[in-house]
Amino acid sequence: MAWPLPTHPFRPRLRTVWREARWSDVGAGLTVGVVALPLAMAFAMASGLAPAAGLVTAIVAGVLISLLGGSNVQIGGPAGAFIVVVYGIVERHGLPGLWVATLMAGGLLFLMGWFRLGALVRHVPVAIVIGFTNGIAVLIALSQVRDFLGLQVPGKMPADLFAQLATLARHAGSWNPAALGLGLGCVALLALWPRLFGERTLLPSEFARSNAARSVSRLPGPVVALVMLTALATALHLPVETLGTRFGSIPHALPSPAWPAIGWESAKPLIIPALTLALLGAIESLLCARVADKLAPELPRHDPNQELMAQGLANMASPLMGGMPATGTIARTVTNIRAGARTPVAGVVHALTVLAVMLVAAPLALHVPLAVLAGILVFVAWNRGEWHEFARLRHFTVQYRTVLVGTFVLTVVFDLTVAVEIGLVLACAFFIVRMSQLFRVSPSSRHLPEGVQGFELMGSLFFGSVVKVEALAAAIAPDTQTVVLDLHRLVQLDTSGLEALRELHQALQRRGVALVLADVNEQALSLMRRAGFAAELGEANFLPKMMGSPV
């Protein structure tokens, strides 16, 4: 027996384009791999995990997303969007809980792609996306205040916003000038680096045009900041906390796969966190893929369903190796495209580059100051937020502003799950109200015979607009013998709207008035026939065109 639901075939993009790979893909992969190294460690630390979790995710999930995904150039790995969610899961359920939630999210992502739901995920209202994106950016920056200032806070920071603020305020007096200097220096260097070699360069024009300057300009800003400031802190013996002092060591090899030891009773509370991870991962990866399509229009557009299936498999593999959730990453994908990538081979090389660095240079990473990683994340948070959208709010409707600001506040104050749920409810409610306002019932403008009264229905007759049809019976003149409804501008009819038409017909019948429908579209007519209303009304009472001559 055939499977009853339509499914998407498993067709990784690499299978069809691997012959098109060029040396530029290898170069792009090496570049992105170097960029991914500090970001992977920083995202893991900000999520309450060891740096190794971020490296493992960048390697395992990164290679699977490129091997199996539906985009030519998307780079997958740990992302800032997950920081707040992962931190909360680890605090409440521990590392085993995070691994199980990530496994479950991976399964959901695979099923979403398999059942062709990729296009639906892309239709999440833009106000919700901007709201939670800006909210996540604020929370990422807030989570880095401790290391940015070098505060001496014992234990882990709480996940709750107000508890975080109280903890930071309580330990504000323990700030470290050296850590603050490194953090500010990192942010300043990241902000200035692109401007040093741009058209309006800050360097002397002779040096800016030299071969040496062109070579240096290719170095990624985060890597330059990481190396320079780590060397500075080490040379000056600055009293700042480092990766080594907090975490002890970084593994020199990938861990062996292991199934998390957790039962069904412990897994049940993780269903909602898993749904959050799956929804956030789907939105982030498909937004990233759309950005890639715009930046590289000469390449084939991404396959959203294949991309979701690859994201699902990557998120099922990552926790088995001790990793964290993964998704498409916009900053690394943009870097990949600008570095010359044209096939998923670049993404595979990126993951192998992170692996090679972890195997060879793990001891050197122990000297990296936490304040420098905090500076990188603060800069990432600033660039991630779409702050200009707040300035543009006055140009949009109250409904749009309510959804965007509401989602932003709920993300910051409560959590992403609540924000997205309430944001979707608000967006749906405002949509229903707007669609009901657009529906019109107006007297017909045609000359009709005596005893015939006509009305025109315009818009969508659904559960939110039936009240206007329900009030129609009271508008019928006493001497009316026939009521004609012109439906040529009725764009859609649902079962609630059909029930309103049936009740109108029954009310008119009791008064001896006939109901006639004119110019019914195919969707409405099909529903009327399936529901038996067409037979109840009688085929003779359906007219192909509205009677009477125009006024």
| 118: Cβ contacts below 8 Å, ≥ 6 apart | 8, 112, 282, 286, 303, 304, 305, 307, 308
Question: Using CA atoms in the order 129, 118, 295, 277, what is the torsion angle rounded to 10 degrees?
Answer: 50
Query: What is the CATH class of 439-550?
Result: alpha beta
Nearest to 387 by CA among 125, 84, 141: 141
With vertex at residue 199, the alpha carbon angle to CA 198 and CA 205, rounded to the nearest 5 degrees, is 95
> What is the token pair recorded at 32?
């992105």
CA gyration radius, the chain = 30
Say how far apart CA 338 and CA 169 lie, in whole Å: 42
DSSP class per residue in 338-402 = HTT--STHHHHHHHHHHHHHHHHHHHHHTT-BHHHHHHHHHHHHHHHS-THHHHTGGGS-HHHHH
Other Cβ atoms within 10 Å of 3 Cβ, number: 6
Ranges in the chain annotated CATH 3.30.750.24: 439-550
Other Cβ atoms within 10 Å of 229 Cβ, number: 25
pLDDT value of position 162? 87
Say how far apart CA 19 and CA 22 lie, in whole Å: 9
Q: What does each of the 551 residues of the chain score in pLDDT, given as a tens digit?
A: 445 567 889 999 999 988 888 888 998 898 888 888 888 988 898 888 999 999 999 999 999 999 999 999 999 999 888 888 899 899 888 999 999 999 999 999 999 999 998 877 767 888 888 888 888 889 888 988 999 999 998 877 887 888 889 999 999 999 999 999 999 999 999 888 877 766 666 556 665 566 666 666 677 788 888 889 999 999 999 999 988 888 777 777 888 888 887 777 778 889 989 998 998 899 889 888 888 898 888 999 999 999 999 999 999 999 999 999 999 988 889 888 988 899 999 999 999 999 998 888 877 888 889 999 889 889 888 888 889 889 898 889 899 999 999 999 998 888 777 887 888 889 889 988 898 999 999 998 888 888 899 999 999 999 999 999 988 888 888 889 999 999 999 999 999 999 999 999 999 999 999 999 999 999 999 999 999 999 999 988 999 888 766 65
Nearest to 106 by CA among 346, 286, 257, 320: 320
DSSP-derived secondary structure letter, 242: B
Between helix 177-196 and helix 370-384 the angle, nearest 10°, is 50
pLDDT value of position 149? 93
Q: Is 278 exposed, middle or buried (0-12, 13-18, 19+ CB in 10 A)?
A: buried
pLDDT value of position 548? 66
Q: Is 52 exposed, middle or buried (0-12, 13-18, 19+ CB in 10 A)?
A: buried
pLDDT value of position 234? 92
Residue matched to tokens 């800003």: 221
Other Cβ atoms within 10 Å of 195 Cβ, number: 12
Query: Count of residues for the chain?
Result: 551
Nearest to 220 by CA among 48, 371, 314, 335: 335
> What is the token pair recorded at 226?
């990481």
Say how far apart CA 67 and CA 18 lie, in whole Å: 10
Q: Is 176 exposed, middle or buried (0-12, 13-18, 19+ CB in 10 A)?
A: buried
> What is the token pair recorded at 407?
């989602």
Say how far apart CA 380 and CA 36 lie, in whole Å: 13
DSSP class per residue in 181-224 = HHHHHHHHHHHHHHHHSSTT-SS-HHHHTSHHHHHHHTS-HHHH
> What is the token pair recorded at 167?
């903890």
pLDDT value of position 1? 43
Distances (CA, A) of 491 to 274, 390, 458, 488, 494: 38, 35, 7, 8, 11
Q: Are β-strands 482-493 and 452-461 bridged in parallel, bridged antiparallel, or unpaired? A: parallel
pLDDT value of position 550? 66
> What is the token pair recorded at 305?
């369903």
pLDDT value of position 551? 53
235-252 b/e (C-beta count within 10 Å ≥ 16 → b): eeebebbbbeeebeebee
Other Cβ atoms within 10 Å of 477 Cβ, number: 9
Q: Are β-strands 542-543 and 549-550 bridged in parallel, bridged antiparallel, or unpaired? A: unpaired
With vertex at residue 10, the alpha carbon angle to CA 4 and CA 12, rounded to the nearest 5 degrees, is 160
Is this model's pTM higher than 0.85 or not?
Answer: no
- The three-state secondary structure class of 542 is strand
